[in-house]
A and B are shown apart, each in its own frame.
Chain A
Amino acid sequence: MAEAHPVGFQWVMEAKARGATIIHVDPRFTRTSAVADLHVPFRAGADIAFLGGLINYVLSEGKDFREYVTTFTNAAEIVGEDFVDTEDMAGIFSGYNAETGRYDPISWQLEGVDYEAPAAGMRDHWEPELRDETNQSEQGRQREHHAAIGSDTAGGAGDAAHATGSPRRDETLQHPRCVYQVLKRHYARYTPEAVSQVCGMGVDEFLAVARAITENSTRDRTTAWVYSVGWTHHSVGAQYIRGAAILQTLLGNMGRPGGGILALRGHASIQGSTDIPTLYDLLPGYIPMPNAHLHEDLRSFLDADAAKTGFWGNMDTYLVSLLKAWWGDAATAENDFAFDYLPRLTGDHGTYGIVRDQIDRKTYGYFVVGENPAVGHANGKMQRLGLANLDWLVVRDMQMIETATFWKDGPEIETGELRTEDIGTEVFFLPCANHTEKAGTFTNTQRLLQWRREAVHPPADARSELHFYFHLGKRIREKLAGSTDDRDRPILDLTWDYPTFGVHEEPDPEAVLAEINGYDADGNHLASYTELKADGSTTAGCWIYTGVYKDGVNQADRRKPGTEQDWVAAEWGWAWPANRRTLYNRASADADGKPWSERKAYVWWDAEQGTWTGHDIPDVEATKPPTYVPEDGATRQDALSGTDAFIMQTDGKAWLYAPAGLADGPMPTHYEPVESPVANLLHEQQDNPALERIDRAWNRINPSQSEVYPYAFLTYRLTEHHTAGGMSRFLGYLSELQPEFFCEVSPALAAERHLEHLGWATLISARTAIEARVLVTERMKPLRIGDRVVHQIGLPYHWGSNGLSTGDPANDLLGVVMDPNVHIQESKVATCDIQPGRRPRGPALLEFVESYRRKAGVEPGGIT
C-alpha cells in the first residue's frame, strides 16, 4: 500500500500513531513492510491457506464475535443433506462434473429453502444445452468452457432470488449441518502447522497474526483488511475475497468503523467503470446483463434474475428507470420498456475471450481507450496477435503506446513471427484530452465521486471521450437515419441529444451526470433511488448514483475543506449509495440498535425520535425499528427484519457459507496456482477444478511442479510508474526515478543461478523469454514449503518498447488461466526459469523458448 497507494497509506500511519498494529502479509518486503509492526513473508498463491488458517483459529478457539455472528450471519442455518464437502471428496465439492469442469450447485443449498427454480443469476447452470462456443476449432476442449457460468451473478442475481420459505435454523450452532459447524469442519485441517507448511511462514508468525486480529476484533475494537490485485489475480481470486469476508464476518468487523475489507483499486475511476460498467456482463448499477432464453420478456427476466426480497427486490424499478433513460418515449409499458432492445449474452465475452476471437478472426474491429493491452495484459503475445488479426483498430491515448505501434515495432516483428507488410490491421490513433482538459467525475476506491473542473482546452485534435462517443453516435445515427431495419431501432430510438458548447461542440458532462442521476415524471432531479418506479414514470441511468444530482446540485463537486468537517467528511464529494460512507453500517449497532461500544459508535437507533441516526447515513430504512418483524409474504426490503443488516442480500444476512452465487464452491478451499512449484499439501486436488483455460499454441502453460520452470514469480507495481506505463514511462521525472526494468531475486537464488547484481538475467516461461536487470536483495526471501525451498522472483510490469524508459514487458511471461466467477487471469503467480545474461534476439529467441518447452514436455507453442 505504501508503494502503490502512498497517499492513502498516510491514514495507516495515522492509525499507527494512534496505537493501531500494522501487519503486512506479502511475499516481498516493501516500503509497507518497513513501517509495519510485523511483516509476514509468504508464498504467492497460498492466501486461502493463510485465511483458512485464521478462520480455523477463530472457530477452534471460539474467538468469533458470537453476538454479531448470531445476529447478522447465516451461521445458524442448516445445510442440506446432499452437500458433500471437500473433506470427503478428495478436495472437490459435491456437484462437480469432471467432463465439463463445472459445478452444479444444487447440492449446496440450505435445508428448508424451496428452490422452485435455480438461484438467481445462476440459472444458466441448469442449461447444459448452452453451447461451448470455443470448442469448434479444436477437439477435446471440454474444459475450455465459456458458457454463462456465473456471468450474471454480480447484480441483483448472485443471491437466492428464488429461495422461498425459511431455512431451518439451530440458534445454538450445535447442529452438525449448521453453517457454523460445516465451516468449522471444512477448515479443521488448516492448522497453524499446515499453514506454516503451505505458506512458508513460521508457526509463531502465523499465531502472532491470529492473536493480533482476534484480540483486536471486539465491541471496542475493529480490524480492517486491505487488499489489491494481489488477491484478485488468481484462478481462485473470488474465493480469496470470500475468505476475507468469512473471517471479517466471524470477527464482527463488517459495517463497523475501522473494519471492512478494503479494495485498493489501481485506476482513477476503475470503481466508476465497474459501477457504470464498461463490462460485458453488467448493466449500470450491477444489474445483470440478460442472457439469451426462449420467450424471454421483462417479466420473466425479473422473475428469474431479480431477488424478491431485500433491496434487490426493487430491481424492476432500477431496470425500468434505466430503460427509460436510454430509450425515452420509445420505452413504453406496452413494449416492455424496450427491454428487447438490449442485446443478449450466451456466455463469457470477457476480454480474453474477445482476444481469442480476434485471433480467430471472428470479430473485426476494436476500440482501445486509455488502456495498453499490448503491455498491460497477461500474455502480451496473445494480445498483439489479436491486434494483428483485426480489420481495424482505434486507439485513443495521449502518447504513442505499444498497442498503437505493435505493427511496427512489436516483439513479434523482431522475432520475425509477424511482418509489418503482412499485417492488415487499419489503425486510427486519436489523441485524447487529459484530466485537466475536461470536466467530469472519477469514482475513487471508496465509492466517492469527485468532480474535476476543466482547467484548459485540449490542444489540436485532442478531444474528450465524451466528445468522441457522442459525435460517433451522432454520425452513426445520421448514416442509419431512415432505416427500416428492425435491428436499427435501438440506435435510432436512443436518447442522444445532449446540449453542447464551444467550437468543438463538446457535450455538457453535467447534463450526462444529471441523466445518470435521473428525473421524476415532472422533470425534477431525483434525490434517492428509493424514489424510482417500475411504471416508467422515472428515469435513472445508474440507480446507485441517484442522488448525485439531488436538488439540481452537482453533489460530486462539493468541496467543503476536510478541516472544517468531522472525520466522516460527508460534505466532500458524494459517495454512492445515498452519500453513505460505510456500507451495511446498521451492523455497527447491536440487535437492539445500540452501538456495540461508545468507542465504536457509528449509527444507532434513537427510540425517542423513532429513527436511525449517527455519524453516517444509516444503511437501513430510517424509521425501521430494530424490533421490526416482517409479515408473511412481505417483499422487497419489507421482507427484512430490523436486524437484517445486509440489505442487498435476499435474507439480509452475511453469508459465511454461500449456497449460491459462486462457480467454484460454497466455501474457499486452498488450491495451488496452475503454475506452482509445489504440490497441494492441503488437498488431493491440485488446482481449482472449475478454472477456465484457453488451450492454444500461443498460450502454453508451464506444467505444475516443473523442474524446467522451477521458480515462482509475481508481478507488481512501483511507486514511480503506473500500470502499463502510458502515463509514466513517457515522463522525464518518473523515468529518471525508475529508469529500467528489473527483477528482484534473493541472494540465495542469485548464487544458485549465478546472477550478478545489476547484471542481466533472462526469464523463461512456456510463452516467451524476457530480460531484466538483476536486483539481488534480501527483500525476496526463499521459503521452505514442505520438503523443498521455493524461490520467488519479483517483476514490476510497467515496461515496453516505447517511451523514455524502455524494457521488456513482464506480462509477456504470463499465460492466461482464469477464475471461473469473474474471468480474471491468474497473473500474480506463475513459474519460470531464470538464467544469467541477456535473452537471444530475433528468431533465435523462438528456438530458445521452444527448447524449454521441449524439455518440459509442453506442446510446441507460439504463433502457428
Chain B
Amino acid sequence: MAPAVFNTVVAGYLGQAGSIPVRLRHKHCHTSPGPDAVPEGENHHVARRACMGVRTWLGEWPIFRQATGPDPLGRGAAVQSPRTQALGPRTADADEVVKSICPYCAVGCGQNVYVRDGRVTQIEGDPDSPVSRGRLCPKGSASTSLVTSPSRVTTVKYRRPHGTEWEDLDLDTALDMIADRVIDARRRGWQDTDDEGRVLRRTLGFSSLGGATLDNEENYLIKKLFMALGAIQVENQARI
C-alpha cells in the first residue's frame, strides 16, 4: 500500500473524531512522492481556488466529500485524491500472466507471474490451483522480491586458490575451466576395480550436492551425466 493511500485512509477514519485539522489531512493527500504528485504549498491552493468554482474546490476536500457524498465512512471515493484515483494494481497493465509454481516448500502452490516489458512485475497466488486456491504464504508472497532482488549476483565470480578477493570471469571460460577440472578430478579419482577384483568403474574424484530446489528435468541431466562419468557421489537435500 502506498503511503499516500495509507495516510488518506487513516485520515478518513480519524476524521470522525475531528481531532486532526482538515488542512493537515488535505496536505497528507498530496505529499506522496512520485512523478504525478501534485505540488504542495499555499500558492498552489490559492491559484486553484481562483480558477475553480468553490464547489469544485470544496469537492477536493475529503472531509467535504465524506460528509456530503455516498461514502460517509471515508473508505472509498471520499478519500481519493487525483493521484490515488490514478493508481492501479501492477497486475492491471501486465503484458502477460504466466502460470508458475512457488519455489519454496513442497506444497506446490500455484503462482501467476505478471510480466511487463520483459520483467517480472508481480507474483500472485493462482486461484485456479486446487492445491492452494490462490493463496500464498509470506515466502510465496515475497517471490517478486526473490526474483527481482537487488543483491542477486548475475555474473560469474572467481576465487583463485589462496586468493583473498573475488575476480570476474567470462562464463564461457568458466565452463571450459570446470570441464577441464572435471576431467582431471575424474581421472585422479578413478577406480577400475577394488583390491578383490570387483569391477567398480567409477570415480571418487568429485561430487555433487543439490537437486531439491531444481526441476525434474535438471535432476535428470545431472544424474545421467554423472552416471556416465562414473561419478557416484551425487547427493541432495533429501538426505538431510
- Measured between beta carbons, the chain B residues less than 8 angstroms from A370 are 210-214
- B158–A487 touching, CB < 8 Å: no
Partner of A284, one of B129, B140, B162, B223: B223
- Which chain B residues in 110-138 approach chain A with CB under 8 Å? 110, 113, 115, 118-120, 123, 127-133, 135-138
Q: In the bound complex, how far is the Cα of B222 from the Cα of A400, in angstroms?
A: 23
Would A452 and B106 be within 8 Å (CB), given that A398-B152, A462-B154 are in contact? no
Contacts of B23 in A (CB 8 A): none
> In the complex, A515→B222 CA distance in Å?
14
- Cα A685 to Cα B210 with chains together (Å): 36
CA distance A220 to B59 in the complex (A): 65
Nearest CB on A from B184, distance (A): 8
A-B contact pairs, 18 of them (CB 8 A): A264-B105, A265-B106, A269-B214, A343-B227, A363-B233, A376-B240, A408-B159, A426-B161, A431-B152, A450-B110, A453-B100, A466-B217, A472-B178, A473-B221, A475-B176, A561-B128, A727-B104, A824-B240
Q: Are A363 and B178 in contact (CB under 8 A)?
A: no
Per the bound structure, the CA–CA distance linking A421 and B107 in Å amounts to: 44
Is B208 a contact of A431 with CB atoms below 8 Å? no
When distances are taken between beta carbons in the complex, the residues of chain B under 8 Å from A284 are 220, 223
Residue B228 at the chain A interface, CB threshold 8 Å: yes
- Given the known inter-chain contacts A273-B212, A370-B212, please indicate yes or no for A280 contacting B206, CB distance below 8 A: no
Interface residues of B (CB under 8 A from A): 96, 98-110, 113, 115, 118-120, 123, 127-133, 135-143, 145-147, 149, 151-162, 164, 166, 169, 171, 174-183, 185, 188-190, 192, 194, 196-225, 227-240
Which residues of chain A are near B204, meaning CB under 8 Å?
357, 362-363
For the complex formed, measure the closest distance between the CB of B154 and the CB atoms of chain A, giving whole angstroms: 4
Q: Which residues of A contact B180 (CB under 8 A)?
A: 479
Residue A389 is within 8 A (CB to CB) of chain B in the complex: no
Q: Evaluate contact between A278 and B219: CB separation under 8 angstroms.
A: yes
**Contact at A278–B174, with CB atoms within 8 Å?**
no
A523 to B189, CA, bound (A): 38
Q: How far is it, in angstroms, between the C-alpha of A398 and the C-alpha of B210 when the chains are bound?
A: 14
B133 cross-chain contacts in A, Cβ below 8 A? 10, 562
Min CB distance B197 to A, Å, is 7
Chain A residues within 8 Å of B177, by CB:
428
Question: Chain A: which residue is nearest B181 at the CB level?
Answer: A392
Contact status B182-A398, CB under 8 Å: no
Bound CA span A475–B229, Å: 13
Chain A residue nearest to B98 (CB atoms) is: A455
What residues on A are CB-neighbors of B96 within 8 Å? Answer: 455
When chains A and B are docked, how far (Å) is the Cα of A822 from the Cα of B147? 35
Q: Are B207 and A429 in contact (CB under 8 A)?
A: no
**A429 to B153, Cβ gap below 8 A?**
yes
A343, B200: Cβ atoms under 8 Å? yes
Is there contact, CB below 8 Å, between A293 and B130?
Answer: no
| A428 and B105 contact, CB distance less than 8 A | no
- Least CB distance from B95 to A in Å reads 10
Q: A472 CA to B153 CA in the complex, in Å?
A: 21
Known: A4-B105, A722-B104. A734 touches B138 (CB 8 A): yes
Q: A343-B230, A491-B228 are in contact. List 16 more A-B contacts (CB 8 A).
A: A267-B213, A269-B106, A272-B219, A278-B234, A363-B185, A365-B205, A365-B207, A392-B185, A424-B162, A450-B110, A452-B99, A455-B98, A469-B225, A470-B221, A572-B131, A721-B139
User: What residues of chain B lie closer than 8 Å to A273, measured between beta carbons?
Assistant: 211-212, 214, 216, 219, 236-238
In the complex, how many angstroms separate the beta carbon of B170 from the nearest chain A beta carbon?
Answer: 9
A513 within 8 A of B: yes
Q: A408: which B residues are within 8 A, CB to CB?
A: 159, 164
Distance of A787 Cα from B139 Cα, bound (Å):
43
In this assembly, does A371 line the interface, its C-beta being within 8 Å of a C-beta of chain B? yes
Nearest A residue to B117 via CB reads: A456
Determine how close the nearest CB of chain A comes to the CB of B4; give it in whole angstroms: 20
Q: Which of A403-443 contact B (CB under 8 A)?
A: 404, 407-408, 420-431, 434-438, 440-443
Contact of A96 with B by CB under 8 A: no
Nearest chain A residue, comparing its CB with the CB of B218: A465
Within A268-286, the residues touching B (CB, 8 Å) are 268-280, 283-284
If A292-B198, A465-B214, A487-B190 touch, whether A423 touches B221 (CB-CB below 8 Å) is no
Contacts of A363 in B (CB 8 A): 185, 189, 204-207, 233
Contact partner, A428, options B106, B109, B119, B158, Cβ 8 Å: B158
Residues of B within 8 A of A424 (CB): 161-162
Which chain B residues border A562 with CB–CB below 8 Å?
128-131, 133
Residues of B within 8 A of A5 (CB): 105-107
**What chain A residues lie within 8 Å of B136 (beta carbons)?**
7
> Which A-chain residue is minimally distant from B140 (CB atoms)?
A7
B101 and A435 contacting across the interface, CB-CB below 8 Å:
yes
Distance from A226 Cβ to chain B, minimum over Cβ atoms (Å): 12
Bound form: Cα–Cα A534–B202 in Å: 25
Asked if B223 contacts A476 (CB within 8 A), the reply is no
Establish whether residues A516 and B181, one from each chain, have CB atoms under 8 Å apart when the complex forms.
no
- Taking a contact as CB atoms under 8 Å apart, the answer to whether B194 and A270 are in contact is no
Query: Are B194 and A346 touching (Cβ within 8 A)?
Result: yes
Report the bound CA distance from A424 to B204 in whole Å: 19
* Stretch of A191-199, A348-356, A666-674, A697-705 on the interface side: A348-356
A460 touching B220, Cβ below 8 Å: no
A450 in contact with B108 given A278-B210, A344-B198, A367-B207 (CB within 8 Å): yes
What is the distance, in angstroms, from A734's C-beta to the closest C-beta of chain B? 5
> Which residues on A sit within 8 Å (CB–CB) of B104?
267-268, 722, 727
Shortest distance between the CB of A525 and any CB in chain B (Å): 16
The answer to whether B182 touches A365, judged by C-beta atoms less than 8 angstroms apart, is yes
- Please tell me if A737 contacts chain B, counting CB pairs below 8 Å: yes
B222 contacts A399, C-beta separation under 8 Å: no
Check B194–A365 contact: CB distance below 8 A: no
The verdict on A436 contacting B98 (CB below 8 Å), with A572-B131, A734-B138 known, is yes
Given A344-B201, A512-B217, A428:B233 Cβ within 8 A: no
Q: Which of A8-54 contact B (CB under 8 A)?
A: 8, 10
CB distance from B1 to the nearest CB of A (A): 13
Looking at the assembled complex, report how far the CB atom of B176 sits from the nearest CB atom of chain A, in whole angstroms: 6
Given contacts A272-B216, A473-B221, contact A436 B120 (CB under 8 A): yes
Contact of A294 with B by CB under 8 A? yes
Does residue A720 face the partner (Cβ distance < 8 Å to B)? yes
- Cα A154 to Cα B76 in complex, Å, equals 61
Q: Which of A7, A129, A424 is packed against the most chain B CB atoms within 10 Å? A: A7
When the two chains form their complex, are residues A8 and B174 in contact, meaning their CB atoms are under 8 A apart?
no
- Contact check, A268 vs B213: say whether CB atoms are below 8 A apart: yes
**CB contact between B161 and one of A362, A425, A476 (< 8 Å): that residue:** A425
Contact with B along A768-811 (1 / 0, CB 8 A): 00000000000000000000000000000000000110000000
- The answer to whether A280 touches B232 (Cβ under 8 A) is yes
Give chain A residues whose Cβ lies under 8 Å from the Cβ of B141: 733
User: Is B105 within 8 A of A452, CB to CB?
Assistant: no
Complex contact A430–B156 (CB within 8 A): yes
Q: Which of A296, A426, A804 contacts B159 (CB 8 A)?
A: A426
Distance to closest chain B CB from A147 (angstroms) = 12
| Complex Cα gap A443–B107 (Å) | 9
The reply to whether A825 and B240 form a contact with Cβ atoms under 8 Å apart is yes
**Does A340 lie at the interface of the complex (its beta carbon under 8 Å from any beta carbon of B)?**
yes
Q: Find out whether the CB atom of A369 lies under 8 angstroms from the CB atom of B140.
A: no
Chain B residues, CB < 8 A from A720: 138-139
The complex places the Cα of A443 from the Cα of B108 at a distance, in Å, of 8
Which residues from 466 to 487 on chain A have a C-beta closer than 8 Å to any C-beta of chain B?
A: 466, 468-473, 475-476, 479-480, 487
Contact A455 B106, beta carbon cutoff 8 Å: no
Task: Using known A-B contacts A399-B151, A456-B119, A727-B146, determine if residue A367 contacts B210 with beta carbons closer than 8 Å.
Answer: yes
- Name the one of B106, B166, B202, B238 contacting A429, with C-beta atoms under 8 angstroms: B166
For A341, what are the chain B residues with a Cβ–Cβ distance below 8 Å? 201, 227-228
Do B206 and A366 touch across chains, with their CB atoms under 8 A apart?
yes
Cross-chain contact B194 with A455 (CB below 8 angstroms): no
Q: How far is the CA of A279 from the CA of B210 in the complex (A)?
A: 9
Q: Nearest CB to that of A229 among chain B residues?
A: B240
Residues on the B chain within 8 Å of A351, using CB: 209, 235, 239-240
CB distance from A603 to the nearest CB of B (A): 19
Q: In the complex, what distance in Å separates the CA atom of A782 from the CA atom of B181?
A: 53
